Structure formats: C-alpha cells, structure tokens
Structure 1
C-alpha cells in the first residue's frame, strides 16, 4: 500500500507509534521515528531494522528546533517526506481543583502544539513539492475518544484531544488546495503499556469492558491498519475526518454485560 513512501512517526518508540512504524515498513515505506526516549527508540529501531529501512532521531515535538531537525534529517536520509503521523503524546492525572498550571501547559505543549509544529514544518515541504509538480502527501493526527467524551481527572489530555479534532479540520481545509490530506484516528482502550495497569486490575478492567460493546481492548496493530489506510491512495478522497476505533464505545449510552 505504501511502496516507496517516506514517513515520519512521532512518539514512535513504543505502543501505537511503534506498531504504525512496523505496519508502514511491511507496506513498503521507509520510516523515521522520533521520540524523546532515546533508549527505547534505539531498541525499537533494532526491531524495525529487521523489517525495512528505518531511522531514529531523539526529538521533542514541542521544540521548534527539534521539529526542524527531525524533518531535515528525514529529507537528508530519504530525500523526501510523504507521510507525517503526529502520534507523540502524554497524559497527566489530577483533580481539576489540584491541577498545576505547569502540568496543564506541558500536556498541551506536547499533545497540541507538537502536532501544530510538526504539521507546519512537513506541510511547508509538501507544498513546495506540489508547486514544483510533485505529488501531495498525507498528515495523520492521533486523537482519542476523549476528543468527544471526557475523564474528570484527565483535564489537559481531554482538552488537547479536543484541540486535535479541530486542528485536523482546520489543516484539512488549509491544505486542500495542494491536495494534502489531513485526518485523525481516535482510539478507545488500546492494549499499550499505558493500559496495562487497567487490565491488571480486575475492577478497572470490568469498568472498561462494561463500556466496550466488542468486549475487549484494541490492539495497536488495529490502529496501525487505519494509519496505513489513511496514508494510502485508497483514502484519496478522505480529508478532515476522525476515524474512531473504540470497540463501539462512543455510540453506547448504557452498560454492557462483561464476561470475565
């Protein structure tokens, strides 16, 4: 699906980002992963190198200089950028009344400002290529069901994902004249390291499953499959959309039986 394409995946050292990198490599793309966790990133790169042509660069998406360097390193290594996946993100749990300003700022800086900076840097490259007769590219933002619903002790995370939903729409309209598509993926409960604490707690796991009609957590590979589709020519007429992969949670307005 992605033969010959070149992708940047932020937050690619683990979880959903690493799964997307693996899927892209299997589909024929070359991949640059960026992450602040250098040790984890280098370990993931060793796994990815067995699949295809991948690189890693330590980068903080909330830093304009790091973003510039990440894009420049990708172009230097591969010659171009066709796909950007804005996957890097953090969470911070705190009661609203106790939430510190610096923690609110940190989450918004990474989860919302980061995708803005990365998208702007990559889009400038893509627009120049289109103006010179080249083909447009695709930008994919990682949203969440929390762009629609909310968790009381996840104030900055929920706010940042609501912002991602609107950023996706605005960028899609801004870049449509160049044929650059911008979409988002909104995962529900996905089996990553972040979810392991929930899955290891029987009561917490039952609460999660009671609001998930399909009766299970999702797998990162299932999100990666959507990212592959959105980056491919099969999605050539889709832009400004968020695809929610949540096991049926968002339409639900009641609890479902849980088989444990």
Structure 2
C-alpha cells in the first residue's frame, strides 16, 4: 500500500461494525494496517465478525448498545481499559423506521434520533480524551461520521425520522469540525447512497422495487464494498489530513 494511505500503528473504533457499511469500513481499515475495534448491540454477532475480520489484521469486538447514555459510557469504559489513545473514530451505528405518515409513532422518532444523532454526539464527547492523546499537527485524529444522502435529498420511503436525523448529523459534523480543528481533530462525514446492508435488504427480494430504486440512481447500481472502504481509508490517512468539515456523498450521483 502506498504510504499516503497507510494506517500502520493507528487504532480505530467502528461503531455498528458487525455488518453492512460498518463491516466494509472495518475491513478496509484493517487492510490498510490499523488495529480495529468494532462494537454492536449483538455481542455474539460482533464477536463472530471480529473473528472473521482477523484474517485481515488485528480486530477485536465489544458488545455495546449505543441507544442509551449508559451504553455509550460502557463502551468508552471498555475501550479505555484497552487503549490510551484513539486515532480514528467511525460513527456508523444507526437505525431507521418506516411507517405511514398518519401512524408514524413517537417511539420511532425517538429511537432513530437517539441512535442516529445523540449517540454520535455522546461517542465523540466521551472519547475526546483518547482522540486528543492521538492528535498532532502532523497527523490529526480523525472522526468520520456516517450520514446519508437521505439527509440531503427527500427520498424517504416513509422513513420520516431517518432523513432528518442524518441531516442533523451532517450539521453536527460541521459544528464539531469547527470546534475541534484547533485541537488537531478532523471531523468529516460520508453520506452513502445505497450499499448492500440490512437496511436495504428488503429491496433485494423485491425485483420491482429494486428496479425502481436503481432507476433513481444515475449510475444505475449500488455502491461496492471496496468503494466505501477506499473513501474511509482516504479520510483516515495522509490523504485526508487537510480535510475537515466536509460532507461527502458516495451515492452514484443521487444528489445531483
């Protein structure tokens, strides 16, 4: 690997790293040389993923339910017992909920906002001591939030809380980037379009819905694992050292 993109001797945490986009990014960081911790609510699945990803590097897992403040605190405590600095934080854990507008429940709104927005803020806030220890002018610590094109366009598929939650994370990214740049902590965001994941799994089994979905994407395809991983590696490596506060769509042209 070219040294511009090497993550040797760097440590990363990927929340929601057991599957989907989180797993794609975790694998890419491992292949670039980082030591990677992943966490997910389902500890058994997360441990199995870490075992599988260990074929690519040093990967370890934590059980963590980030939908509560106590869950974030538990994760931070576990991680602090393991490491004394954190170079890369990937805030990927998230949720969605679809229902008709007239019957969209309050509990759906609260769940999505709690995990997609509040937990992102809490993870960054509580992991600041570890990020600060890793940060330097020559090699800033990196926070990479995972937003969505749903936070930019208006294709909601009746997931009324999801798009607003991601738009909030986009703005939070800019605010924190401005506040933390003087501490040598870069904060950027990837706004994915459609990638294979549990969230898009229902489309795979519905040929008509899949065809309609692909028709809305200018490139007429979903993103690939290596494309997601490559962008994350770029932001985490020397290639992204002079970038902060950026919202980067990775969407095949959906936001055009």
For normalisation by structure 1, the TM-score amounts to 0.90
Give the structure 2 partner of residue 63 of structure 1. 68
SS at match of 1:155: coil
Deviations 1:94-113 (A, max 9, x none): 12221111111011000100
What CA deviation, in whole Å up to 9, does each residue of 1:17-53 have, x standing for no partner?
Answer: 0111111111110011111011211110110122211
Query: Matches of 1:238 and 1:135 in 2, distance apart?
Result: 12
Task: Report if the CA contact (8 A) 2:8-2:34 is conserved.
Answer: yes
Distance between the aligned counterparts of 1:168 and 1:196, measured in 2? Answer: 28
Match of 1:229 among 234, 243, 251: 234
The CA distance in 2 between the partners of 1:92 and 1:85, in whole Å, is 22
1:90 corresponds to 2:75: no
Q: Is 2:210 the counterpart of 1:208?
A: no
Give the CA deviation at 1:179: 1.4
The Cα of 1:221 is off from its aligned counterpart by 2.8
Where does residue 256 of structure 1 map in the other structure? Answer: none
Q: Name the counterpart of 1:110.
A: 115
The match for 2:173 is 168
Root-mean-square deviation (CA), in Å?
A: 1.8
Within 5 Å, which residues of 2 pair with 1:1-260?
Answer: 1-127=6-132, 136-150=140-154, 151=156, 153-251=158-256
Classify 1:218/1:129 alpha carbon distance in 2 versus 1 (closer, same or farther; 3 Å): closer
For structure 2, which runs of at least 5 residues remain unmatched after alignment? 1-5
Deviant stretches of 4+, over 6 Å: none
Aligned to 1:8, the other structure's residue is in SS state strand
Q: Which moved more, 1:219-228 or 1:65-74?
A: 65-74
State the distance in 1 between where 2:234 and 2:147 align.
16
**Contact 2:10/2:35 (<8 A) preserved:** yes
Shift of 1:122: 1.8
C-alpha change, 1:95 and 1:37, in structure 2 (3 Å) is same
Q: 1:124 to 1:79 in 2, by over 3 A?
A: closer
Supply the distance in 2 between the matched residues of 1:118 and 1:54 (Cα, whole angstroms).
20
**What is aligned with 2:3?**
none
